[in-house]
Amino acid sequence: MDANGLEGVVVADTALSDVDGERGRLVIRGHDVEALALAHDFEAVCALLWSGALPGAAAHAALRAALGRGRVHAFARLGSLGDALAAADAMDALRAALAHLRAGEIAAAWARRHAGQASVAPDPSLGHAADFLRMAGAHADAGALPAGTYRSARMPALDARAQALDAYLVAAADHGMNASTFTARVVASTHSDAVSAVVAALGALKGPLHGGAPGPVLEMLDAIGTPDRAASWIAGELAAGRRIMGMGHRVYRVRDPRAAVLERAVERLRAAAGPGLAGTRLELARAVEAVAVASLGERRPERRLAANVEFYTAVILDAVGLPPALFSATFAVARVAGWLAHIDEQLAGGRLIRPASRYVGPRPTQAAAVPA
């Protein structure tokens, strides 16, 4: 067997999430992702992942308050990291600062400082999604912000955008044994600390084959511009031997169910906002997806390639007003919920993860001489 990439190898028992790649189904602790993402906020799904059940009103309020306190605490410590954060790329800043802090407020503060603006202090009375948008500066008065920082000219109200971002955060919170989650579990299995496991996971998430794709997806949509140009653009990319970002998946052989969740959340946002740029990008994305699926299918009929979560991640994060440079870091804000649940699960019942390798190099021709 070719061991390259550990495809199909089971490395852990988990009660957290299950990915059915043939039927395009994602179950998180007994719930379909569609049911969770369109009806619950990020706090509720954090509680589900961390404690095993959707929270009642009191538990939800307690977790929301705890996350709010966490944001305030982290923000207070952020100042000591100085302006060095602003110079880095968002994922590098997140990785450096995470050693001391938490993800949401670092990513948001990075966006502000990178745009040459003062950081916005957290408001612990808000939900995680709304406060993240507020701190990142994805304001309704986008006209007051530097050109190019925010994509959508017409910004729907914060509540509607927070609801859309919640749908994204929930849809991206956990996803079986993906590369970053596996990384977190490997580090946790050595009984290292949780921060080290999360920082290592972030490094895996950063790569373009995992969490680094949504920025390039938006660049692709921008480069294509109008649906009629999709076919020639995609053909050119494939002829040049490049991959189409947001297409294909290690496990799914059909369309990623999270793509449909995000599509629906953008439709809901568009209904709240009225026609605007969010709607325009959705139509373009749908047209490009159809062309990409058809072109990839013609090229390799035996390898079924369809849209993955990153394709519509680009559309929804753009629609809520976040800049592309913050897309991967926003993925980390969501996935840290799953990483923490997996770290706990690994510590509760897992052994040291220490797989084997097959040696294919040369062997010594003689038995080793043992020095006298």
Residues annotated as part of the active site: 249, 310
Among 180-188, 219-227, 238-246, 329-337, the segment contacting ligand COA (CB under 6 A): 238-246
Among 14-22, 125-133, 162-170, 241-249, the segment contacting ligand COA (CB under 6 A): 241-249
Q: For 206-239, give one letter per residue: b (16+ CB within 10 A) or e.
A: beeebbbbbbbbbebbeebeeeeebbebbeebbe
The verdict on 249 binding ligand COA (CB under 6 A) reads yes
Smallest gap from residue 350 Cβ to ligand COA (A): 25
Among 59-67, 141-149, 304-312, 353-361, the segment contacting ligand COA (CB under 6 A): 304-312
Among 125, 130, 124, smallest CA distance to 164 is for 130
Q: Is 148 exposed, middle or buried (0-12, 13-18, 19+ CB in 10 A)?
A: exposed
Closer to ligand COA by CB, 5 or 275: give it.
5
The verdict on 307 binding ligand COA (CB under 6 A) reads no
Q: Which of residues 310-339 bind ligand COA (CB under 6 A)?
A: 310
The verdict on 244 binding ligand COA (CB under 6 A) reads yes
Among 69-77, 129-137, 237-245, 325-333, the segment contacting ligand COA (CB under 6 A): 237-245
Strand order in the sheet with 17-20: 17-20, 25-28, 31-32
Closer to ligand COA by CB, 140 or 223: give it.
223
Token readout for 110 is: 């990075």
> In the chain, which ranges are E strands?
17-20, 25-28, 31-32
The verdict on 248 binding ligand COA (CB under 6 A) reads yes
CA dihedral 248→253→259→263, nearest 10 degrees, is: 110
Which contiguous run of DSSP H or E holds residue 47?
helix 42-51
> Could you tell me if 87 and 55 are in contact, meaning their C-beta atoms sit under 8 angstroms apart?
no
Q: Which of residues 191-230 bind ligand COA (CB under 6 A)?
A: 209, 213
Among 29-37, 131-139, 163-171, 307-315, the segment contacting ligand COA (CB under 6 A): 307-315
Smallest gap from residue 244 Cβ to ligand COA (A): 4
By three-state DSSP, how is residue 226 classified? coil
Smallest gap from residue 137 Cβ to ligand COA (A): 27
How many binding residues for ligand COA (CB under 6 A)? 18
Which residue's entry shows tokens 């009103």?
57
By three-state DSSP, how is residue 8 classified? coil
Count of residues for the chain? 372
Closer to ligand COA by CB, 101 or 285: give it.
285
Smallest gap from residue 172 Cβ to ligand COA (A): 10
Closer to ligand COA by CB, 148 or 241: give it.
241
Number of other CB atoms surrounding residue 314 within 10 Å: 26
- Spatial separation of the C-alpha atoms in residues 156 and 152, rounded to whole Å: 9
Closer to ligand COA by CB, 47 or 244: give it.
244
Taking CB under 6 A as the criterion, the residue among 25, 229, 243, 268 binding ligand COA is: 243
Binding site for ligand COA (CB under 6 A): 5, 209, 213, 243-250, 296, 300, 303, 305, 308-310
